[in-house]
Chains A and B, each alone.
Chain A
Amino acid sequence: MSQNSSGKDDQASGSKKPISLPISRVRLIMKSSPDVSSINQDALFLTTKATELFVQHLALSSFNNGSGKETNSLSYSDLANTAQETETFHFLTGKNFKGFMLLFQIYIIETQP
């Protein structure tokens, strides 16, 4: 299953490629944010990489926090619970003002004709 046998020991992420997510897609999302005019190349790379780190962090935190350890699974409720309980993930829940504004922003974008 693991695709990276030799690169693991000398790189922190354990992957030969710097990033897997497409930068162009991340840029599209960033550009939909109000008030953003332009983004330099390094900032684009860093945001993409940070998103990958975030996905790893969210998945692993939810798995460790959840009940799936016995069943060796990760379910939606593990994620929802972790987001509710962990302050750094509160922006996902709309719990605080920032989170609410983000979800609202997505709603506006997605409901545009």
Chain B
Amino acid sequence: MAERPEDLNLPNAVITRIIKEALPDGVNVSKEARRAISQAASVFVLYATSCANNFAMKAKRKTLNAGDVLAAMEEMEFERFLEPLREALEVYKKGQKGKKVSEPKRKDKEKKVDTENNKSRAEEGEDDDERMEEEPEVENEAEEEEEVEN
């Protein structure tokens, strides 16, 4: 649960970088525009979560899975995202597999180490998000504290 309003925001530096990479070189982006895009991104997350959750509930699952998110994108009319998302997920899963082999500190009471098995596990409604010990490497570089731009 978000405890402070800032928790709903995404790091400004990362948002700025993503915007700059999307636009032609040298475009000046105002501070207000950057802030608006950042807030829009948070709203997007909530919207996507809400949509995806509807699909999960229809299937009587308590855990959101990849299929729910992809279905949500289609519902939200962002079909253009589907292919890049699927490709990125493939790469991500391969990367995760490699990591899991070398990391021994996995809690594996009833949970298998394989990502394939995790999919069926997830559908049983287990609390999967606690397994997110492995953040991608980008976490260390990209996560910055909120800059107070007032």
- Please give, as numbers and ranges, the residues of chain A lying within 8 Å of B40 by CB-CB distance: 54-55, 58, 79, 83, 89, 92
Any chain A CB within 8 A of the CB of B27?
Answer: yes
Q: Given the complex, which residues of B lie within 8 Å of A62, measured CB to CB?
A: 33
B42 touching A106 by the CB < 8 A rule? yes
Chain A residues contacting B48 (CB-CB under 8 Å) are 47, 50-51
Interface contact B14-A21, CB-CB below 8 Å = yes
Closest residue of B by beta carbon distance from A14: B21
**Are B37 and A13 in contact, with the CB atoms below 8 A?**
no
Which B63-77 residues sit within 8 Å CB-CB of chain A?
63-66, 68-70, 73, 76-77
- Chain B contact-residue range equals 35 or more
Which one of B11, B26, B65, B128 contacts A21 once the chains associate, using CB atoms below 8 Å? Answer: B11
Question: CB < 8 Å: which of B11, B47, B88 contacts A49?
Answer: B88
B94 CB to closest chain A CB (Å) equals 10
User: When the two chains form the complex, which single residue of A24, A35, A52, A79 contacts B53, counting CB atoms closer than 8 Å?
Assistant: A35
Cβ contact within 8 Å between B122 and A103 = no
Q: By the criterion CB–CB under 8 Å, are B11 and A55 in contact?
A: no
The A interface, classified by DSSP as helix, strand, loop or mixed, is: helix
Least Cβ distance of B63 to chain A in Å? 5
Contact B132 A27 (CB under 8 A): yes
Min CB–CB distance B76 → chain A (angstroms): 7
Give the interface of B toward A (CB within 8 A): 1-2, 5, 7-8, 10-11, 14-15, 17-30, 32-33, 36-37, 40-50, 52-53, 57, 62-66, 68-70, 73, 76-78, 80-81, 83-85, 87-89, 91-93, 95-96, 115, 118-119, 122, 125-129, 131-132, 135-139, 142-143
Closest 6 pairs between A and B when the two form their complex, measured CB to CB? A56-B22, A76-B32, A42-B66, A40-B122, A110-B5, A73-B28
Residues of A whose CB lies within 8 Å of any CB of B are 1-2, 12-15, 17-33, 35-47, 49-60, 62-63, 68, 71-76, 78-80, 83, 87-89, 91-92, 98, 102-103, 105-106, 109-110
